[in-house]
A and B are shown apart, each in its own frame.
Chain A
């Protein structure tokens, strides 16, 4: 399988502290990869490095065959930051329309994307007046509108109700089936079961990188929560 993202020996410092200690990982194209780890483990930093907005100290990040941050990649990737980065003083339709315009997408495309994330009824509302869950769905729509080849989503399901979370994960699987590569961070383990692959990181180092089944098998448990706890504890002891 071709890799959409290859990370090799990535070291990143934020402030005076090294937050990623030589991470190497591959993300296969057309799959959903879950990036899991406790708060402060370096998930967001790794995602920022992949979308090319993070200053890195050393190491290589290759995205869709090109160095991360290349000009040509800007049309091919979609990034949703952890706190929804949309304009609260614009309506849902105006936000999605603006981000679509940056890629030359049509109005029809924006309307369809808004419907896909289930905000058709809220399209005319100011984003700032929406509830938290809708707010982050508006942010997601702004990334989906350009039909990117690689989608990097930083905790997109936080604050979403269970029904909506389920809908979103079905949508992620559908996008992957259509050839999109998704990297989704989360700290909800029942979501991890729905990923094709998992990357578990802790304190800036990878503790596991495999399919959910293999991660569970490796520590001899059926429960991903338990597996993650054991892996993290094992890493602490080691």
Chain B
């Protein structure tokens, strides 16, 4: 792994994105539009809005970055650029961290915009600060990037890659405590929910909602999500082979 190659690769991925202004606009605007919908849906009940909007600020970056990364990596695999890169001095870590850093930066901008709108335009009310919300959102975005890199290995076409989104994301959204509090679920559902990383991200956001200062539970939850990111990146590295049949 080399700093020059890592910086070059991160810059290359960001430059690809820069040539696609429509994608950038959608990344920034779509979360805001959805928050607006939620705002008017719960206009009558501010407390419900506070809870749901806060969770959504964590879920949007996860879904969007999972989609963007799995397609981007699939393109590298199918267009031949990955094969070519593997005849050059690029290390697997340069590529994986290049994607992580590039999309992590984009996610930070996305989370800042969405959180800014939620807090200042729609008066989202949390006990903790906006900085912690953005931190958790970016951690979730990195979770999406890492899982996207991993699952792109199991798709041969972009059609297949898109289908992994409901497989990976929707069960986590259903079981994360947004619809039914996790402790009220059937035991086996709660057990599944306990091993899904998004459950921890949502719990961490709940902690920010309820406490003025960051709590131990929140830091533990963030650490769990970060740990899953590292594991998924490691598994993703194992799916990148220099030599293929």
Contacts and interface: CB of A to CB of B under 8 A. Distances in A.
Given A101-B5, A102-B5, A75 B245 contact: no
Contacts of B88: 74, 99, 102-103, 146
20 contacts: A52-B87, A53-B87, A53-B242, A54-B245, A55-B243, A74-B88, A77-B87, A80-B84, A81-B83, A85-B81, A85-B83, A89-B19, A90-B12, A90-B15, A90-B19, A94-B12, A98-B11, A102-B85, A103-B88, A146-B88
Interface in A1-52: 13-15, 51-52
A94 B79 CA distance: 17
Interface string B223-245: 00000000000000000001111
A69 B88 CA distance: 10
A172 interface: no
Interface string A75-114: 1011111011111111100100011011110000000000
Given A54-B244, A55-B243, A83 B80 contact: yes
Given A77-B87, A101-B8, A104-B4, A69 B242 contact: yes
Interface size class of B (residues with CB under 8 A): 20 to 34
B89 A53 contact: no
Contacts of B243: 52-55, 69
Contacts of B85: 102
Contacts of B242: 52-53, 69
Interface string B53-84: 00000000000000000000000000111011
Interface of B: 4-5, 8-9, 11-12, 15-16, 19-20, 79-81, 83-90, 242-245
B12 A14 contact: no
A103 B89 contact: yes
A117 interface: no
Interface residues of A, number: 35
Nearest to A51: B87
B1 to A, nearest CB: 12
Nearest to B90: A102
Contacts of A14: 245
B84 A75 contact: no
Contacts of B16: 87, 89-90
Contacts, number: 76
B8 A55 contact: no
Contacts of B5: 101-102
A86 B81 contact: yes
Nearest to A100: B8
A89 B243 CA distance: 26
Contacts of A53: 83, 86-87, 242-244
A126 B15 CA distance: 11
Nearest to A81: B80
Contacts of A89: 16, 19-20
Q: Which of A14, A74, A80, A104 has the most CB of B within 10 A?
A: A74
Given A80-B84, A87-B81, A146-B88, 12 more contacts: A14-B245, A53-B87, A74-B88, A77-B87, A81-B80, A83-B79, A83-B80, A85-B83, A99-B88, A102-B5, A102-B88, A102-B89
Contacts of B79: 83, 85, 88
B8 to A, nearest CB: 4
Contacts of A86: 81
Contacts of A85: 79-81, 83-84
A74 B245 CA distance: 20
Nearest to B81: A85
B26 to A, nearest CB: 15
Nearest to A68: B243
A102 B87 contact: no
Contacts of A55: 243-245
